[in-house]
Chains A and B, each alone.
Chain A
Amino acid sequence: MASHRTAPWFQGVLLGGFCLVCSAVLAVAYRFSAPDIERRLKEDMEVSLGQVVPAKYRGNDMVADTVSIDGAEGPTTVYRARKDGQVTAVAYRVVGKGYGGDIVIVMGVDRSGEILGVRVVQHSETPGLGDKVDVRKTRWVDAFKGLSLANTAAAKWAVKKDGGRFDQFSGATITPRAVVKAVKDGLALFSSHRARMLDEAKDALPGPAPAPSSTSGKKTVS
């Protein structure tokens, strides 16, 4: 006899049981896959960091050497490249407001505030028009290399249409405009939090490393 199968309480128990089983399965699956997923994300981050900070700046595991900076847009994780203990370059994410949503950009900056590299890592811009900011399509992002707030006037941080120095794309001005603005804001973030990013807050000694002799000594050992 299955008369209880039509009772309201049975429906509740049945659905509850299903929820319980599904949650258990999900918990197990999560436990099994979490370490692998974390490793993949770390690899992704390493790849994009490698593209914006050349190998000669890096003597350490950048992904592990981070500091959190509270910018205007919330906290930003800054990845630091070090050689012999001194921070040589930093890389971090900035987000631009593009035509099709957020454009996630990773940029690398050296100690003097000059851009080492810029990569758009995630975007949903129009294929064939706005996606030229993606390095797989064109080398447009290379235009940022070597620029800083010091060597480029604020007015020049714009697309040519707005009187700046960066090319726009025919049919897509919003996308390069957004990228240029995001990178400029990224440099402003660097200059306002320079000491913390370069890990110099404690000794407050700007300029070159105090002991170059020890640097060369370490190199011969390794």
Chain B
Amino acid sequence: MMDIQFQSFIPIKKEWDIVAARQQGRDMSKQIGFGSVDQARIATAISELARNIYLYAEQGKICFEILDDMEHKGIKIIAKDDGPGIPDVGKVMEDGYTTSGGLGAGLPGIKRLMDYFDIVSEEGKGTEVTVQKWLR
């Protein structure tokens, strides 16, 4: 069973919150023991997720969890918003698809940075993206 040791979240309402969220992610991944490359990957993924919230939903939050199941440690990040939602999730998972004119790297980029990626979105209700990275 997975044992959650530490949980926290950062609300995303203004531009600066994007920086606050990625700094929190970097600090947590350092604490877990991730090396500098994975710290950069995790922090960048958070930056992209937070920017998506800021651009498309205006507000939401980034939640952090430290994962520790005895055998391995990791970090779980959930980006949650009550924004307009994504009508066609399949389409946004295609490389190169954009509605913002190239402001974000898009979800496929975030997926490549992490070990696990899941998205649940309902039109008119919001979007929830979950990503995880395991310490190797």
Question: Real complex partners, A and B?
Answer: no
